[in-house]
Chain A
Amino acid sequence: MREMNFVEAAREGLAEEMARDPSVFVVGEGVGPRGGNFNTTVGLIDVYGPERLRDTPISERGFTALCTGAAATGSRPVVDFMFIDFLTDAFGDLLNQTAKLHWMSGGRVKMPIVLRGCIGVANSNAAHHSGNYYPFFMHIPGFLVVVPATPQDAKGLLKTAIRCDDPVLFLEHKNLLTLKGPVPDEEYLVPFGQAAVVREGGDVTIVAISFMVQETLRAAEELAQEGTSVEIIDPRTLVPLDIDTILVSVHKTGRLLIVDEDYAPCGAAAEIAAQVMERAFDDLDAPVRRINGAFAPTPFSPAFTNLVPSAASIAQAVRDLLDE
């Protein structure tokens, strides 16, 4: 299998879908000749032209609603927000229009729109360029939320997102963009709602989201040397959430830790914990634990350390959980 990095794999997926379907187009600031701030569209304007790689004014609310109207009338927009933080200007229209038109119309208006952008605490990006924000969308009926953690999944899930008739948040962690990994030569899609068991183990289940999969893999290596066997689950999509794969693992291990870089209150980890306790209370030998990022806006200075879970803090959380 080929090795590609996360951005290259996702871009290949986008290019394949643009070749397959002439109704797919991309909007965003700098998606044209510049090829996207994160290289998401490099080279595509030469093939597909400026109407399908549409450089926009800085009008996030406007072009998000515009793409909602476009999706409602038969095209398939991909909105590239660069940083997902910039999507927040469009939040009202996303909530009231993008998420609801399909339902309000009794299923007659389709909403095939992809809302992609980079998430995560990285690179001293500070308070306006470091958001994760997926719980907002998990909370609203109508959005699908995709959080790929490998190049292979980035490509396969983006292709599924573009073919999907519902609004999809496609969230790419900045720390994953240059991560390399195997990508199949032949065409493939990764379905929504199927978690990946990325490491098998028997002592504790860890659900890790997005970049946290990488930190958790490092923690698992450390723990293995101590004789602790960790099972790691990457949900890959938060909506739909493959709770069944998590429940099967918890049935085996009896312990669950959720590692989520985003804020804890009302977050993805809170939702997963609640569902596991509702359904598998008898399987649990200890309370469900979660570790999250610091509940504060993201600071700038590198002196602010330990903002988000690390391999070390994850390993320590596992040790604490095994002591319960």
Chain B
Amino acid sequence: MVNSSLMTLLREQALALYRRMLLIRRSEEQLVKLYAAGKIWGACHTYIGEEAVASGVCAHLRHEDAVFSTHRGHGHALAKGVTPRELIAELMGRATGCSGGRGGSMHLFKPEIGFMGSSGIVGPSITLAAGAGYTAKLLKTGRVAVAFFGDGAVNNGSFHEGINMATVWDLPVLFVCENNLYATEVAFAKATRNTDIAARARAYGLPGVAVDGNDIEAVFEAAGEAVQRARAGEGPTLLECQTYRVRAHSEGMRDAGYRSAEEVAEWKARCPIQRFEKRLLDDGLAVQADLERTEAEIKELIEDAVSFAENSPWPDPSTVTDHVFSAAYNYVTTEGDRHA
């Protein structure tokens, strides 16, 4: 029988994981509404259905640990500590967004807390994270780096080159593959003969672990071991999290022809949040009132974020050439355009 203080710790940790997943879900649902209302421009790739992966992995990270994310990065950003205000304002193109309105859905940045960017290009999160691992090892900072990427990235050269170098140089990196079965609309099974991603690790000589990516306990446990290994100087791990994107690749895109309604319904039924709710209640780690209170807090946070974003200023268009370089070099591009 565990003693009561340990029980409190377990409860708090479990509820924090639950809260993190729910924050992502409710933020995404809000973004879907804002997109439908025409208040979000460009792409909007939601993370609905995959919340357990970012939540379970980032629970082990410190602010100074580096995360490199994908085009489907809202969940990674929120799990690493980007606030709903910063996320929603960014997707609404406001100056108060986490990238000042320069990025949108695919270019979220908050390096102050180690969120090193989501990306419009599939693959480089792997090699960039390997590089953050190189810095950590060279400067002995004790930090770890995490690359999130999808099944689509494992058939890209970045996967091969990044994992190979990180392994041979024992870099403190966690490679988290979110295998959601489709690279945009191309089924993974049509893109490669061997669909066992974790098994590829053996070819490079690093540990490869496959887990049910909709089971936050499984993700949490496997990620914890991998982060511990990395911090101990024992090198990288490849973690395959099998999950599913239940909405279209991007909001507003036709979501048909490549997968069946039955398949989507089946995965919706495996919702990671509902599963964890049941587990919390069944095991006595939470009561219904805990879950309701969490829900209410998040609702308030998101309402506040929307109102904050809607009342936020637009970026000043004259700042577009700011930060092309870090210093004011005397350079000229066209007549009348002098930067010094």
Residues of chain A at the chain B interface (Cβ within 8 Å): 22-23, 25, 51-52, 54, 56-57, 59, 61-63, 65-75, 77, 92-93, 96-97, 101-111, 141-142, 144, 164-166, 192-193, 239-244, 275, 278-279
Contact = CB atoms under 8 A, between A and B. Distances in A.
Given A70-B138, A96-B120, A242-B330, 5 more contacts: A56-B165, A73-B135, A75-B134, A92-B121, A105-B109
B161 A240 contact: no
Contacts of B322: 106-107
Contacts of A51: 137-138
B194 to A, nearest CB: 21
Contact of A106 (B102, B129, B334): B102
Given A102-B323, A107-B323, A93 B109 contact: no
A93 B124 contact: yes
A110 B165 contact: no
A106 B136 contact: no
The 8 closest A-B pairs by CB, nearest first: A69-B131, A62-B161, A69-B128, A65-B127, A107-B323, A240-B331, A70-B131, A240-B329
A57 B136 CA distance: 21
Task: Determine which residue in A51, A74, A104, A141 has the highest number of CB atoms from chain B within 10 A of its CB, and name it.
Answer: A104
Contacts of A110: 326
A25 to B, nearest CB: 6
B116 A109 contact: yes
B138 A241 contact: no
B111 interface: yes
Contact of A71 (B68, B119, B131): B131
Contacts of A243: 332
Contact of B323 (A73, A106, A192): A106
Given A59-B161, A104-B117, A109-B109, A65 B326 contact: no
A71 B127 CA distance: 12
A193 B138 contact: no
A61 B232 CA distance: 28
A244 B324 CA distance: 21
A66 B165 contact: yes
A66 B139 contact: no
Given A65-B162, A106-B99, A97 B135 contact: no
B158 A106 contact: no
A178 B168 CA distance: 36
Nearest to A51: B138
B325 A142 contact: yes
B109 A108 contact: yes
Contacts of A142: 324-325
B231 to A, nearest CB: 16
Nearest to B95: A106
B86 to A, nearest CB: 12
B165 to A, nearest CB: 6
Contacts of B127: 61-62, 65-66, 68-69, 93
A67 B332 contact: no
B107 interface: yes
B117 A69 contact: no
B331 A75 contact: no
B316 interface: no
Contacts of B119: 96-97
A75 B129 CA distance: 13
B138 A61 contact: no
Given A61-B158, A69-B127, A240-B330, A105 B134 contact: no
A72 B161 contact: no
A73 B131 contact: yes
B30 interface: no
Interface string B237-248: 000000000000
Given A243-B332, A279-B335, A66 B100 contact: no
Nearest to A110: B326
Interface in B286-340: 321-327, 329-332, 334-335
16 contacts: A62-B130, A65-B124, A66-B127, A68-B128, A72-B116, A72-B131, A73-B136, A92-B121, A93-B158, A97-B128, A104-B107, A105-B117, A144-B325, A165-B327, A239-B329, A278-B334
Contacts of B334: 278
Contacts of B128: 65-66, 68-69, 72, 97
A126 B321 CA distance: 39
A144 B330 CA distance: 12
B132 interface: yes
A107 B320 CA distance: 12
Given A51-B137, A103-B323, A108 B112 contact: yes
